[in-house]
Structure 1
Amino acid sequence: MVVDEVSTSQHTKQTRETLEDYTLRFAPRSYRRWKPGVVASSALGGIAYLADFSIGAGIGLSYGTLNALVAILVAALIIFTTGLPLAYYGARYNIDLDLVTRGAGFGYYGSVLTSMIFGSFTFIFFATEGAIMAQGLKVGVGVPLWLGYLITTLIVVPLVIHGMKALSKLQVWTTPVWLLLMIGPLGYLVIADPGSVSDWLAFTGSEGGGAGLNAGSVMLGAGVALSLMAQIGEQVDYLRFMPPRTEENKRSWWMSVVLAGPGWVVFGALKQATGAFLAVYIMGLAGAAATEPVQQFMNVYGLFMPLAVAIPLAVVLVVISQVKINVTNAYSGSLAWTNSFTRITGHYPGRTVFVLFNLGVALALMEANMFAFLSSILSFYANCAIAWVVTVATDILVNKFVLKLSPREPEFRRGMLHAVNPVGVVSFLASAITSIAMYFGAFGTTLQPYSPIAAVAIAVVLTPVMAIATGGRYYLRRTDDGIDEPRFDSHGTPVDTTYTCHVCEQDFERPDMLACYAHDAVICSLCVTTDRTGQHLLPAQ
């Protein structure tokens, strides 16, 4: 029978769920043994990347300090506002951002679009961070760039394969060293040379922005910074392992969700501003290399210690930072690509396959010297990331809580959702296509800098308009999954009753299960996903 074939092909892979970190599905309470603070510190460890310094340096050198600071602030406010509902849903219902997206306006197959965008985000930033690490290895120990690219790619493989258990230990133990190496020298610089701050604040940039505030320059700078909006997806990949919110832990739970969810952008904005400061400070010494973090910190360390010590310390900072973020990039990328591939093909190859795929693409980008045209790539990519994140955030905030046309509790299981929901898909495509056309000058040079804001505005307006126009009909294919016990208790917390899937014969918690149409039994969400015949699916209501 086909059912037996599905069972045979999937049984072995599904017994490795703890190693696979519950790809494509709800993270069960039995696995989520970490306290809120541990999950938060692990999530924040993933923002140790140094690309912020390069991004801030590029914006500051181009448009001047005043325009750069306002651009960074504008981007941070947008990212924080849109990131909060996504972080809450991921932590509250223990699902990653792709699963949130499915039920927030995109549908079961519609969210493949956004999974691919997020997957692209992870290898773009892996390549960016890997290039920075290779630059550090070249400066510090003379490793050729091509070899440095290979080293930075291979070093993360064993950590990423072992998922959250290994990543949480890495992030917690390396954070104190990282903070000391980063904050200490910056504090010394400001104290030792206070005039450097006033010189930085007076810097007007290389692109004719002048001493005053220029709206076009602000928007162009904000567009680069907004490319980081998809970072919330990586934060949610950690936050989905939050424990249930209770009366006893609600303060620490909320603090962890806010700090490690949208709160990452506060740290990111500070790093971008610092990168702009350091670039102005060392541009006379480093020239075009002033945007490279290894050069920034090597020159700052050199102010108060011999160069023979400054260079190794700068290299250590770069290596720690890149390992901390690139394990997250590779991990989150593997989840995104596995999600897309399994839904499209009905075959679950395991997350490890896509760890290697993501790393291979990132390595190719590094060898192609992607770092040299980083700002152009990020400005273009920002429009897609903004369209996705703002559409989902608007669906949660407006369509779920204000209009009440979108189901309050998230749904991600095949058979329960329509294949495509026009609410999210149309809003996302309209926002992305229009803003990209604007970015390339289709609406004239005057409007060109405002493409990121256009992406935000279109998604915010069109998402509720589409929900009203469709009457919310395309969110759920079914409202009843065939199991009598509710998925959530009276407080809205996912229940932890376990059921045995009759296909893979493994036990999973209630939110991951639904009734099987072909048998008087229950089936897990992954087995439904990999059912190519569709015989397990409940009929539409």
Structure 2
Amino acid sequence: MSIENARRDPAPEPGELPRESAAKETLEDYTLRFAPRSYRKWSTGVVGVTALGGIAYLADFAIGANIGISYGTTNALWGILVFAVVIFATGFPLAYYAARYNLDLDLITRGSGFGYYGSVVTNVIFATFTFIFFALEGSIMAQGLKLGLNIPLWVGYAVSTLIIFPLVIYGMSLLSKLQLWTTPLWLVLMVAPFVYLLVSHPDSVSSFFAYQGENGQGAPSIGAVMLAAGVCLSLIAQIAEQIDYLRFMPPKTPENSRRWWTSLILAGPGWVFFGAIKQIVGLFLAVYIIANVADGATVANEPVHQFLEIYKDIMPPWAAMTVAVILVVISQIKINVTNAYSGSLAWTNSFTRITKTYPGRLVFLGVNLLIALVLMEANMFSFLNTILGFYANCGMSWVVVVATDIAINKYLLKLSPLQPEFRRGMLYNVNPVGFGSMIVSAGVSILVFFGAFGAAVQPFSPLVAIGLAIVLPPLLAIATKGKYYLRRTDDGIDLPMLDEHGNPSAETLHCHVCRQDFERPDVARCETHDAVVCSLCLSTDKVGDHVLPAQA
């Protein structure tokens, strides 16, 4: 096709109108597509701090306390170590692809073994993650509001949900400022109680390591370690939320290479180090409260009470209550803007591909918040371990399969295309390599989790999920000879996809359907016109006349 035609402004087809959805991408935050260089004006440091601001959640404290109370300190610490190693190893290739090619995890998943429609199921898994953890954080905030202001829990659930909506409307442009402004205060409020205990109550350290769990049966056990790790590994999908920020990284150049890699590692897979520390601190505070506070065992796993009891030792009760509530509210807002934002992206992605209709991200922002509110009102906090343990099997299967496809199928076997592809028409609808591997991995590990293969192997469902997700993708890629990755290798545009540094090209072309300009990685040739069409217009093409045919 003529590139000059694409650079000019060809008239739209009769009856076609400009698509408002394509014209308001700043508001929609590039929900369904590549994040263009023209929008990515933040420095590597700002992107990194913004991404790390999203891990300010207090759920880690509750998770650490819960697994320690259930399995004892020793087993909990080993479980947390297993969790950290798995998360870092699987998160690195995903974070690299997101920052290098400026794609969210759904777009990466499409071209990494799942296919154009195959990744819809992983979007549902991710959306489930966001509303589960939104509900968990909202529950913690409601506990704080009830404790500090005597607000009924059901009202607190509603308040913690409604305040998030206006903060998420403008996506990265507002969230980057929110995370930067609130992080210093959050760090001080979170670290102070732990440091205080270490200095003023050094004996709490030995009590912490000696703690055997609520039943006093916390002797070292591989089964208990894996059960603890399984609960922690429910957080594996957090890398997708980190990626929702990392996709806005600036281009990697020789001048910014060191800063680029530092931000990528710390804000990408490195989030797990901060998460593991918070889980350990949560358990530490819980053990101290159980030993030193009357009826402490009943509230030791609730972060609000954990911090309140320590603050009471440092300052007057009224001040302790105020500071505890401030910490809870700041933490809840910092993480739940991320949960709501990422959930809206995931739901919108799935809905648009299935229905070929683009309602806008804000519609599904409301849907995600509503589901989370229902979970909170159902008191999901009371059965946290079961929810997270079950979910972990699905999350691990998805993330590990994608990481395996990138690390092994792309770089080692070279059966998967090295450069990610996400556009409709370029991919097969379903690729059995990733999709099949995930279904088998998740299905078998869930059966193990619920005891279908006996109590002896029940604790090892995380290992089953991880093992199958590592082994199956290479086997299926070899068996299919990699032929289900790309439906086409040529998108019909004679312009390079990457610049001289290997970054996505900033060359812009004009979509003849929505009449907007888009950068080179986000467009393809239109099958029925001498013009180009953007990826969103391809996604919403109900007739399919813009979609390129399969390549022989």
Asked if the contact 1:434/1:455 (under 8 Å) is kept, the reply is yes
Q: Are positions 1:232 and 2:242 aligned together?
A: no
Conserved? CA contact 1:126–1:330, under 8 Å: yes
Please give the secondary structure, in 2, of the residue aligned with 1:423. Answer: helix
* Residue 207 (structure 1) shift: 4.5
Counterpart in the other structure of 2:162 = 154
Give the structure 1 partner of residue 400 of structure 2.
390
Give 2:7's aligned residue: none
Q: Deviations over 1:292-342 (max 9, x none)?
A: 000000001011211111011000000000000000000000000000000
Aligned mates of 1:355, 1:316 — CA distance in 2 = 25
Determine whether 1:77 maps to 2:85: yes
For the 8 Å contact 1:209–1:217, the answer to whether it is kept is no
Distance 2:378 2:14 in 1: 43
Contact 1:383 1:452 in 2 (8 A): yes
Residue 514 of structure 1 aligns to a residue whose secondary structure is strand
For 1:222, the equivalent position in structure 2 comes to 229
**Contact 2:116–2:427, Cα closer than 8 Å, also in 1:** yes
Structure 2 letter corresponding to 1:252: R
- Looking at structure 2, the residues matched to 506 and 399 of structure 1 have their Cα atoms a distance apart, in angstroms, of 36
1:253-332 alignment runs, 5 A limit: 253-284=260-291, 285=293, 286-332=296-342
CA contact (8 A) 2:126 2:346 kept: yes
Alignment of 1:101-112 (within 5 A): 101-112=109-120
Note the 1:51-66 alignment, pairs <5 A. Answer: 51-66=59-74
**Which residue among 446, 459, 466 is the counterpart of 2:476?**
466
Q: Secondary structure at the match of 2:489?
A: coil
CA contact 2:172–2:245 (8 Å) conserved in 1: yes
Residue by residue over 1:346-402, the C-alpha shift from the partner in whole angstroms, topping out at 9 and shown as x without a partner, is 000000001000000000100111111111000000000000000000000000000
**Alpha-carbon separation, structure 2, partners of 1:38 and 1:6:** 44
Distance in 1 (CA, whole Å) between partners of 2:451 and 2:215 is 19
CA distance in 1, matches of 2:330, 2:13: 47
For 1:185-233, what per-residue CA distance to the aligned partner results, in whole angstroms no more than 9, with x for missing partners? 210111000001100100011355444x210100000000000000000
SS class of match (1:174): helix
Amino acid at match of 2:400: V
Give 1:48-447 correspondences, 5 Å limit.
Answer: 48-207=56-215, 209-211=217-219, 213-284=220-291, 285=293, 286-447=296-457
Paired residue for 1:517? 527
Shift of 1:489: 2.5
Q: Are 1:390 and 1:456, in contact at CA under 8 Å, matched by a contact in 2?
A: yes
Measured in 1, the distance between the counterparts of 2:471 and 2:35 equals 33
- Is contact 2:285-2:306 (8 Å) kept? yes
Give the conservation status (yes or no) of the 8 Å contact 1:6–1:531: no
388 and 281 in structure 1: CA distance in 2 versus 1, 3 angstrom threshold: same
Checking the alignment, whether the CA contact within 8 Å between 2:71 and 2:213 is kept in structure 1 is yes
Letter in 2 for 1:182: M
Gap regions ≥5 residues in structure 2: 1-11
1:6/1:530 contact within 8 Å kept? no
Given that 2:75 and 2:218 are in contact with CA atoms closer than 8 Å, whether structure 1 keeps it comes out as no
1:87 positional shift:
0.3
Supply the distance in 1 between the matched residues of 2:381 and 2:33 (Cα, whole angstroms): 35
How far apart are the structure 2 equivalents of 1:183 and 1:7? 57
C-alpha contact 1:383 1:451 (8 A) present in aligned 2: yes
Could you tell me how far apart the structure 1 residues matched to 2:245 and 2:15 are? 30
- C-alpha deviation, 1:407, in angstroms: 0.3
- CA displacement at 1:24 relative to structure 2: 0.6
Equivalent position amino acid for 1:89 in 2: Y
2:75 match: secondary structure: helix
Question: Structure 1: how far apart are the matches of 2:549 and 2:14?
Answer: 22
2:46 matches 1:38: yes
**2:253 maps to amino acid:** T
**Alignment deviations for residues 439-472 of structure 1 (CA, whole Å, 9 cap, x no partner):** 0001100000000011000010001000000000
Take 1:299 and 1:357, find their aligned partners in 2: how far apart are those partners? Answer: 36
How much has 1:491 moved relative to structure 2? 3.2
* TM-score, normalised with respect to structure 2: 0.96
Quick one: structure 1 residues 441 and 325, their matched pair in 2 at CA, closer, same or farther if it must change by over 3 Å? same
Q: Residue deviations 1:113-148, cap 9 Å, x none?
A: 000000010000000000000000000111111110
Find the residue that maps to 2:530 and give its secondary structure: coil
Name the CA distance, whole Å, in 1 between partners of 2:280 and 2:54. Answer: 19
Question: TM-score by structure 1 length?
Answer: 0.98
Q: 2-side partners of 1:7 and 1:406: how far apart?
A: 37
Hey, what's the Cα distance between the residues in 1 that align with 2:146 and 2:216?
A: 34
Tell me by how many angstroms 1:484 deviates.
0.1
Which secondary structure state, in structure 2, belongs to the residue aligned with residue 480 of structure 1?
Answer: coil
What CA distance in whole angstroms lies between the structure 1 residues aligned with 2:454 and 2:171? Answer: 47
What secondary structure does 2:56 align onto? coil
Q: Distance in 1 between matches of 2:387 and 2:525?
A: 45
8 Å CA contact retained: 1:38, 1:168? yes
Post-superposition Cα deviations, 1:424-446, rounded to whole Å, max 9, x if no partner, equal: 01100110000000000011000
Superposition pairs of residues 19-34 of structure 1, within 5 angstroms: 19-34=27-42
Q: C-alpha distance in 1, partners of 2:177/2:28?
A: 17
How far did 1:416 drift?
A: 0.2
- Measure how far apart 1:287 and its partner are: 2.3
Q: Distance in 2 between matches of 1:358 and 1:5?
A: 38
1:234–1:502: structure 2 CA closer, same or farther, 3 Å change rule? same
* Cα shift at 1:100: 0.3
2:272 alignment partner AA: V
- In structure 1, what residue type is equivalent to 2:255? E
Structure 2 CA distance, aligned partners of 1:73 and 1:321?
A: 24
Percent of pairs with identical residues: 64
CA RMSD, Structure 1 to Structure 2 (Å): 1.1
Aligned partner of residue 533 in structure 2, secondary structure: strand
**Secondary structure, aligned partner of 1:291:** coil
